[in-house]
Amino acid sequence: MDIVSPQNTRVKEWAQLLEKKHRTRQHKYIIEGIHLVQEALRTGADLECIVYDGEQGVPKELAGVEAPLQRVEWISVSPAVIAKCTDTMTPQPVFAVVHKGREPLQSLLSSSKGLVVVLDNVQDPGNVGTIIRSADAAGAVGVVLGAGCADVYNPKTIRSTMGSLFHLPIVEGQLESLLPEAKAAGVKLVSTSLQAEHSCYSYDFTQSVWLVIGNEGKGISETTARLVDDAITIPMQGQAESLNAAMAATILLFEAMRQRMV
């Protein structure tokens, strides 16, 4: 199929996916660029179609890559269509439309001694995406996004995950109901605090642990704080008062990974 006009009905539907309300309504989102489309194909994401710049043809990196267990529609379009449907100033020559998944909380609780990151009102898309990427790199079994977090399907969030979005379960929901369920299953909830007495380097991360990361400016909410079992601190020797949310999460994740590799 070839689509040239940006006014095409299907193109208009794709372009709407740049806005959260339409992603929610259509239950779909867009991924941009060769690397993300490659990862989506490789991991068997639920792709509706792959759209490429007809003037350049199918990118050689994608030629011959087959999506497991599904057939994907490939659509040739004009550069004007690519520009209309993508978020970057200099669009890459390919994007894909992906159906959202629905990950149940049980997918995280079923893992023995699972390491999970919980985000409580983390609002910066770059932070959310980076934390998902770090969780993937450190071997976490999943990420939980509470209310108030940046949309995981925001184009900037997706780019920041660098494909990790497709590698581990991401559960979205209300923390006031999800966290008690995790605690009932034997999970320890751990957050950071500048006032905490115990260092992250002396904490036992080999048990089933969920790391709770709070808002960039305010930390975790009072409701979430009442559910947390342990507070730890990240020791610092310099003069910085605190760490970026994604940096703090990454340090804790890799300390947990180090302990679990011993």
Q: Are 144 and 176 in contact (CB under 8 A)?
A: no
Could you please state the CATH topology (level 3) that the domain comprising 2-99 is classified under: 60s Ribosomal Protein L30; Chain: A; (3.30.1330)
Beta 47-53 vs 170-172: how paired, if at all? unpaired
Separation between Cα atoms, residue 176 and residue 229, nearest integer Å: 14
| Amino acid letter for position 116 | V
Residue 196: its pLDDT value, please?
Answer: 87
**According to the model, what pLDDT value does residue 27 have?**
96
Where are the domains positioned within the chain? 2-99, 106-261
**pLDDT of res. 91:** 87
The 10s digit of each residue's pLDDT in 113-156 is 899 999 999 999 999 999 999 999 999 999 999 999 999 999 99
In CATH, which of 2.40.50.100, 3.40.50.450, 3.40.1280.10, 3.50.50.60 is domain 106-261? 3.40.1280.10
Q: Identify the pLDDT of residue 39.
A: 93
Cα(140)–Cα(234) distance, rounded to whole angstroms? 19
Cα–Cα distance, 60 to 95 (Å, whole number)? 14
pLDDT at 246: 96
List C-alpha distances in Å: 65 to 43, 70, 93, 98, 161: 11, 12, 17, 17, 21
Element (H, E) at 209: strand 209-213
Q: Across the chain, which distance is largest between two alpha carbons, in Å?
A: 63
Whether the domain at 2-99 and the domain at 106-261 fall into the same CATH topology: no
Local structure of 232: helix, strand or coil? strand
pTM recorded for the entire structure = 0.93
Residues of the chain with pLDDT under 50: 69
- The pLDDT, as a whole number, for residue 48 is 95
